[in-house]
Amino acid sequence: MPKLTIDGREVEVAPGTTLIEAARRLAIHIPHYCYHRGLSIAGNCRMCLVEVEGVPKMMIACHTQAADGMVVHTDNDKCREYRAAILEFILVNHPLDCPVCDQAGECKLQNYYMEHGTAGSRVDEDKVKKRAKAKQIGPNIMLDSERCILCSRCVRFTDEITHTHELGITERADHSEITLAPGAWLDNRYAGCVVDLCPVGALTDRDFRFKCRVWYLTAVDSICTGCARGCNITIHVNRDRPHKAGGTRVMRYKPRENPAVNQWWMCDAGRYSYKQIDHERVDSAAVDGRPVAVEQALDASAAALKRAAAAVAVLCATTATNEELFLARALFAGALGGHAAYLAPPQGEQDDLLLLADQSPNTRGAQEILGTEVRDPVGWVKAHGVKAVVVVGEADLTGLKAEVDHLTVIATHPGKAAAQAHVLLPGSVHAEVEGTFTNHAGRVQRLRVAVPPIRGAVETWRLLLELAGRLGHPFDFAFEDDIFAALASQLAPFAGLSHDNLGRRGALLGSGAPQPTEVV
């Protein structure tokens, strides 16, 4: 195992480790553009130049392998001088249109310039004008060739990750630019990732463009609800400036690195699914279609459930969190002596990168907590002699209302379930609660509150708690983590897990404790 010294600190790494990775082990950040841990090494931007003692030239840290006894300097005068020179070079033809550039605020060119850049450019020549300025190259992607620093990350992504090869670099020298392959359109399922990868504002997201400035956003860790993969994401929320984007609170999703789940990526279907958080929500309780206060609706629901005694059941969609599922089970199957089951999740397309056919984020959680899957709610209700049903989430319940005396639906969006309800309660979506989802592989992952429940709605777990109280079975849970603690103490696969020890990467069911997290 080679042992080397970086900035005076010793580190031992596996053979073949690059200097940039070895430095990362010591939490030393080496500036870079073209290097990305998820892609092959291109070594074209030269931003990562470091000094290796005994080597006459500066070496690129992203491609130089660590060797025994190497002495590396990443932050001496020579390195800083080279970095400033590289930046000056990269900026020769850069348009510097930060005021209209969506990347401003999260731009590696801006950041490194502030940290390492020189004062001004010494180039008197006119800047080379590229062909494409604000050109659409896919349904969601805009390309601005003038801002491109030709790091080739986007090209490598379409070559190595999606294998769709839509992008290439054409022309020579300072006329080089990113070009679509003849007849191609950047519309693969993961195209949005090139925007995340682009270190500058050359590739921007048409959906996000000009809605907001990135420094207005607050990032909250969460999980994508698009499919059972449970890609790790951050939800970017605009909390303080409600005049943007028509009052929409959530502005975008960005993938968050998790080597065990989604690496660095997420699919476009998931990426743009943020829109449903603020779109057409159920914002009022209703009894028989008449809007009423939530308390009244809860009273009406509780009265009907009481009348049905033990002939009650709860049917949960697999979009509910583990906490909500556990509460539903504890109340209906436990305290009331009725039934608890989950509704078969909707199926969609699947591919060999991330997207799974199961379009629910928590099917595995529902399997573990409720056990019974229901494909035909009407038949199931008949078979169990159920008189009153509570449905949590969206499902096709055609014919169910006629089969039972009472149907309460906790819904987030007007849909097939909400349309059937005797009592409709406005519930919460994943971005509005603390909680956990269990992904297809059994990884329990945390959700954090990004926004409060939309005006008029109440956290679904609170609605269930209120219902429990009104039915004479109050639970002693103050917050979501109390519910998870009870869940972990009662269900063996969850044993040992808690909201606190799940960390940012989650933990596998049955692992008892989270896996040690990798240094980032």
Site membership for another protein, residue 120 (CB under 8 A): no
43 touches ligand FES (CB under 6 A): yes
Cα distance between residue 192 and residue 273, in whole Å: 13
Closer CB to ligand FES, 32 or 130, in the complex: 32
From the number of C-beta atoms within 10 Å of its C-beta (0-12, 13-18, 19+), residue 4 rates as: buried
**Least distance from C-beta 151 to ligand FES, angstroms?**
7
Tokens at residue 74, please?
């990443």
Strand partners, 446: 436
Near ligand SF4 in 203-242, by CB under 6 A: 203
Instruction: Give per-residue burial for 446-478: e unless 16+ CB within 10 Å, then b.
Output: bbbbbbebbeebbbbbbbbbbbbebbeeebebe
Least distance from another protein to the Cβ atom of residue 196, Å: 21
Q: What is the DSSP letter of 383?
A: H
The item of another protein, ligand SF4, ligand FES, none sharing an interface with residue 64, based on CB under 5 to 8 Å by kind, is none
Q: Which stretch binds ligand FES (CB under 6 A): 28-36, 102-110, 127-135, 452-460?
A: 28-36
Residue 147 binds which of ligand SF4, ligand FES, another protein, none (CB < 5-8 A, kind-dependent): ligand SF4
Among 134, 309, 310, 492, binds another protein (CB under 8 A): 134
Say how many residues touch another protein, by CB under 8 A.
18
Q: What's the CA gap between 375 and 394, in Å, rounded?
A: 13
- From the list 400, 355, 361, 357, the residue with the least C-alpha distance to 377 is 400
Half-sphere exposure of 388 (CA within 13 A, CB side): 21
User: Counting contacts by CB under 6 A, is residue 332 touching ligand FES?
Assistant: no
User: Which one, of 20, 39, 27, 22, lies nearest residue 264 by Cα?
Assistant: 39
Two tokens, residue 372: 């019974």
Q: For residue 259, what are the CA distances in angstroms to 256, 264, 517? A: 10, 8, 10
CA-CA distance, 480 to 441, in Å (whole number)?
A: 23
Token output for 337: 């002596």
178 contacts 169 by C-beta, under 8 angstroms: yes
Give 271-292 as a 3 state SS string.
HHHHHHHHCCCCCCEEECCEEE
* Identified binder of ligand FES from the candidate list 4, 22, 32, 278, rule CB under 6 A: 32
418 binds, among ligand SF4, another protein, ligand FES, none (CB under 5 to 8 A by kind): none
Amino acid at 510: G
Q: In what order do the strands lie in the sheet with 339-343?
A: 290-292, 285-287, 423-426, 406-411, 388-392, 312-316, 339-343, 373-374
With binding defined as CB under 6 A, does residue 45 bind ligand FES? yes
Minimum distance between the CB of residue 62 and ligand FES, rounded to whole angstroms?
A: 3
Residue 380 binds to ligand FES (criterion: CB under 6 A) = no
Name which of another protein, ligand FES, ligand SF4, none residue 148 binds, using a CB cut-off of 5 to 8 Å depending on partner kind: ligand SF4
Among the listed residues 47, 86, 137, 487, the single contact to ligand FES using CB under 6 A = 47
- State yes or no: residue 131 binds another protein (CB under 8 A): no
User: Measuring CA to CA, how many Å separate 350 from each of 72, 262, 267, 299, 304?
Assistant: 46, 15, 11, 43, 42
Q: Is 48 in the site for ligand SF4 (CB under 6 A)?
A: no
Closest-CA residue to 205 (of 224, 186, 182, 218): 186
Return the one option of ligand FES, another protein, ligand SF4, none that residue 457 interacts with (CB less than 5 to 8 A, by type).
Answer: none
Q: Which stretch binds ligand FES (CB under 6 A): 29-37, 248-256, 314-322, 474-482?
A: 29-37
Q: Does 90 bind ligand SF4 (CB under 6 A)?
A: no
- Partner from another protein, ligand FES, ligand SF4, none contacting 353, C-beta within 5 to 8 A by type: none
Near another protein by CB under 8 A: residue from 243, 402, 476, 519: 243
| Residue 133 binds which entry of ligand FES, another protein, ligand SF4, none, CB below 5-8 Å type-dependent | another protein
The yes or no reply on residue 114 touching another protein (CB under 8 A) is no
The listed partner (another protein, ligand FES, ligand SF4, none) that binds 62, CB under 5 to 8 Å by sort, is ligand FES
Q: How far is CA 119 from the centre of its chain?
A: 38
d(CA 73, CA 55): 12
312 scored as a contact of ligand FES (CB under 6 A): no
| Interacting positions 210-239 with another protein (CB under 8 A) | 210-211, 213, 215-216
**Is the Cβ–Cβ distance between 10 and 59 less than 8 Å?**
no
> Taking CB under 6 A as the rule, does residue 437 contact ligand FES?
no
Examine residue 104 and tell whether it contacts ligand SF4 (CB under 6 A): yes
When CB distances are held under 5 to 8 angstroms depending on the partner's kind, the choice from ligand FES, another protein, ligand SF4, none that residue 153 binds is ligand SF4
Tell me whether residue 29 or residue 275 sits nearer to ligand FES (CB atom).
Answer: 29
> Could you list the residues that contact another protein (CB under 8 A)?
97-100, 104, 133-135, 209-211, 213, 215-216, 241, 243-245
> Could you list the residues that contact ligand FES (CB under 6 A)?
32-35, 43-48, 60, 62
> Could you list the residues that contact ligand SF4 (CB under 6 A)?
94, 96-99, 101, 103-104, 107, 109-110, 147-154, 178, 197-203
